[in-house]
Protein backbone atom coordinates (compact mmCIF):
# COMPACT_ATOMS: atom_id res chain seq x y z
CA UNK A 1 0.00 0.00 0.00
CA UNK A 2 2.73 2.58 0.77
CA UNK A 3 4.27 1.96 -2.65
CA UNK A 4 1.06 3.15 -4.31
CA UNK A 5 1.29 6.45 -2.40
CA UNK A 6 4.84 7.25 -3.50
CA UNK A 7 3.86 8.91 -6.77
CA UNK A 8 1.23 11.10 -5.11
CA UNK A 9 3.56 12.09 -2.30
CA UNK A 10 6.34 12.87 -4.78
CA UNK A 11 4.07 15.22 -6.70
CA UNK A 12 2.90 16.86 -3.46
CA UNK A 13 6.46 17.40 -2.22
CA UNK A 14 7.64 18.82 -5.56
CA UNK A 15 4.65 21.15 -5.66
CA UNK A 16 5.26 22.34 -2.11
CA UNK A 17 8.96 22.98 -2.84
CA UNK A 18 8.01 24.98 -5.94
CA UNK A 19 5.52 27.06 -3.95
CA UNK A 20 8.13 27.64 -1.24
CA UNK A 21 10.74 28.81 -3.76
CA UNK A 22 8.27 31.10 -5.55
CA UNK A 23 7.18 32.61 -2.23
CA UNK A 24 10.80 33.17 -1.21
CA UNK A 25 11.55 34.99 -4.47
CA UNK A 26 8.34 37.04 -4.20
CA UNK A 27 9.26 38.13 -0.68
CA UNK A 28 12.84 39.00 -1.60
CA UNK A 29 14.64 36.61 0.70
CA UNK A 30 15.71 34.24 -2.07
CA UNK A 31 17.30 37.11 -3.99
CA UNK A 32 19.20 38.06 -0.85
CA UNK A 33 20.36 34.44 -0.44
CA UNK A 34 21.37 34.18 -4.12
CA UNK A 35 23.54 37.28 -3.79
CA UNK A 36 25.34 35.60 -0.90
CA UNK A 37 25.71 32.22 -2.63
CA UNK A 38 26.86 33.69 -5.95
CA UNK A 39 29.23 36.06 -4.12
CA UNK A 40 27.84 39.12 -5.82
CA UNK A 41 28.23 41.09 -2.60
CA UNK A 42 31.62 39.60 -1.76
CA UNK A 43 33.19 43.00 -1.20
CA UNK A 44 30.71 43.93 1.50
CA UNK A 45 31.60 41.05 3.77
CA UNK A 46 29.13 38.97 5.72
CA UNK A 47 27.82 41.65 8.14
CA UNK A 48 24.96 42.52 5.74
CA UNK A 49 23.65 38.95 5.87
CA UNK A 50 21.08 39.78 8.55
CA UNK A 51 19.98 43.13 7.14
CA UNK A 52 16.33 43.84 6.62
CA UNK A 53 14.90 42.85 3.26
CA UNK A 54 13.49 45.76 1.28
CA UNK A 55 9.73 45.46 0.85
CA UNK A 56 6.94 47.62 -0.43
CA UNK A 57 4.80 49.41 2.09
CA UNK A 58 1.61 47.65 3.08
CA UNK A 59 -1.61 49.18 1.82
CA UNK A 60 -3.99 49.21 4.77
CA UNK A 61 -6.45 51.62 3.19
CA UNK A 62 -8.00 49.11 0.78
CA UNK A 63 -11.28 48.99 2.69
CA UNK A 64 -11.62 52.78 2.73
CA UNK A 65 -12.20 52.75 -1.01
CA UNK A 66 -15.37 50.68 -0.75
CA UNK A 67 -18.44 52.89 -0.89
CA UNK A 68 -21.14 51.04 0.97
CA UNK A 69 -24.60 52.22 1.79
CA UNK A 70 -26.27 51.23 5.04
CA UNK A 71 -29.26 48.96 4.74
CA UNK A 72 -32.61 50.69 4.91
CA UNK A 73 -34.47 47.64 6.23
CA UNK A 74 -33.69 46.05 9.54
CA UNK A 75 -33.28 42.33 9.96
CA UNK A 76 -36.64 42.13 11.69
CA UNK A 77 -38.42 43.69 8.70
CA UNK A 78 -36.69 41.30 6.27
CA UNK A 79 -37.69 38.35 8.45
CA UNK A 80 -41.32 39.47 8.46
CA UNK A 81 -41.35 39.81 4.65
CA UNK A 82 -39.73 36.37 4.26
CA UNK A 83 -42.25 34.78 6.65
CA UNK A 84 -45.16 36.28 4.71
CA UNK A 85 -43.79 35.04 1.38
CA UNK A 86 -43.13 31.56 2.81
CA UNK A 87 -46.66 31.39 4.27
CA UNK A 88 -48.15 32.44 0.92
CA UNK A 89 -46.17 29.78 -0.96
CA UNK A 90 -47.16 27.12 1.60
CA UNK A 91 -50.82 28.11 1.21
CA UNK A 92 -50.59 27.78 -2.59
CA UNK A 93 -48.99 24.33 -2.30
CA UNK A 94 -51.68 23.20 0.16
CA UNK A 95 -54.48 24.43 -2.15
CA UNK A 96 -52.91 22.65 -5.12
CA UNK A 97 -52.58 19.42 -3.12
CA UNK A 98 -56.20 19.69 -1.95
CA UNK A 99 -57.38 20.12 -5.56
CA UNK A 100 -55.41 17.06 -6.67
CA UNK A 101 -56.80 14.95 -3.82
CA UNK A 102 -60.35 15.97 -4.73
CA UNK A 103 -59.72 15.19 -8.39
CA UNK A 104 -58.38 11.77 -7.47
CA UNK A 105 -61.37 11.02 -5.26
CA UNK A 106 -63.80 12.02 -8.03
CA UNK A 107 -62.15 9.82 -10.65
CA UNK A 108 -63.35 6.32 -11.29
CA UNK A 109 -61.33 3.71 -9.44
CA UNK A 110 -59.21 1.54 -11.66
CA UNK A 111 -59.85 -2.17 -11.53
CA UNK A 112 -57.65 -4.08 -9.15
CA UNK A 113 -55.13 -6.50 -10.53
CA UNK A 114 -56.34 -10.05 -10.18
CA UNK A 115 -53.38 -11.89 -11.61
CA UNK A 116 -50.80 -10.71 -9.11
CA UNK A 117 -49.43 -8.02 -11.43
CA UNK A 118 -48.51 -4.62 -10.13
CA UNK A 119 -50.69 -1.94 -11.63
CA UNK A 120 -49.47 1.64 -11.73
CA UNK A 121 -52.06 4.35 -11.56
CA UNK A 122 -52.26 6.50 -14.68
CA UNK A 123 -51.73 10.22 -14.30
Predicted confidence pLDDT, tens digits, the chain (123 residues): 577 788 889 999 999 999 988 887 777 777 777 777 777 666 666 666 677 777 777 766 666 666 666 677 788 888 999 999 999 999 999 999 999 888 888 777 666 666 666 667 666
CA distance 121 to 123: 6
Judge whether 59 lies within some domain.
Answer: no
Judge whether 121 lies within some domain.
Answer: no
Structural domain count of the chain? 2
Judge whether 3 lies within some domain.
Answer: no
Judge whether 119 lies within some domain.
Answer: no
Residue 118: HSE in the Cβ half-sphere, 13 Å Cα cutoff = 1
Q: Which has the closest alpha carbon to 23: 15, 61, 48, 39?
A: 15
CA distance 107 to 120: 15
Instruction: Give residue 46's pLDDT.
Output: 63
Instruction: Give residue 108's pLDDT.
Output: 72
pTM: 0.31
Which residues form the domain of 91? Answer: 77-106
Amino acid sequence: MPSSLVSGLTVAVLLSVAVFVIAAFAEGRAQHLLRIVLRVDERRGMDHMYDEVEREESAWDLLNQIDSEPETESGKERAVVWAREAAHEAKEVALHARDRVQAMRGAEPEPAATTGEIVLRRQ
